[in-house]
Amino acid sequence: MDEVLFTRANIKMDGVVDLVFKDLANVQTGRAKPAMVEDVKVEAYEGSFMSLKELASISASDSQSIVIKPWDPSVIKKIEEAIFKSELNLSPVVDGEVIRINIPSLNEERRIELTKIIKQKIEAGKAMLRQVRIEVKKDIDNQKDQAGVSEDDVHDMQERLQKLIDDYNKKLDEMESVKEKELMTL
């Protein structure tokens, strides 16, 4: 029973880390990265929303610009509009059959502001991990009444859970460190 419990916990915690990773990818660091825009939702065809990566090829031609080439040129205006309306604060420019986005350099004030946003996203991830911990701990505590499960077994499972949480928190801390370093590198 405890292996099933920890397998489910691992899956949930991996999901939290993946979610935070994707969330951090959207934080602008002054460098052009396709991940910044690939999940922007575009109303492509009469009410159907698709992510940008489903509608176009996205590349970073250099460290300051992103080039988006839609597979269907008829949606180019809708892509431009979706990027402009997104919370990314980017200004797309249509250049024939492609969209170009210039990524402005970050000033020190904006870097500090983005560092705070990164910390908030990491803390939100840690809060989600704590929620998973609460759920798993409840399942562990429910095993106290089962036959064949000793108090030592329950204690060992709780220690294993805490080690697992510590490992995942460390992963989030490492993600924060990497992103902040990337942000502060000129």
Spell out the domains of the chain, with CATH numbers in brackets.
2-25+107-184 (1.10.132.20), 34-102 (3.30.1360.40)
pLDDT of amino acid 186: 56
Q: How far is CA 42 from CA 96, 98, 140, in A?
A: 19, 16, 44
CA distances (Å), origin 175, targets 20, 23, 88: 9, 11, 21
Compute the average pLDDT of residues 60-80: 87
Query: What pLDDT score was predicted for residue 102?
Result: 86
DSSP 149: -
Residues in the chain: 186
Q: Which residue has the higher pLDDT, 133 or 154?
A: 133
Please give the span between the terminal C-alpha atoms of the chain, in angstroms, as a whole number.
51
Query: For residue range 134-181, what is the model confidence (pLDDT) as tens digits?
Result: 999 998 888 887 777 788 888 898 999 999 999 999 999 999 999 888
* Whether the Cβ atoms of residue 102 and residue 118 lie closer than 8 Å to each other: no
Confidence of residue 40 (pLDDT cuts 50, 70, 90): confident
User: Rounded distance, CA 29 to CA 103, Å?
Assistant: 9
Bridge-based pairing state of the strands 92-95 and 98-102: antiparallel
The pTM score is 0.68
Q: What token pair was written down for 51?
A: 């992510």
Tokens of 43: 């109303």
Residue 134 CA from chain centroid, whole number: 22
Higher per-residue pLDDT: 15 or 185: 15
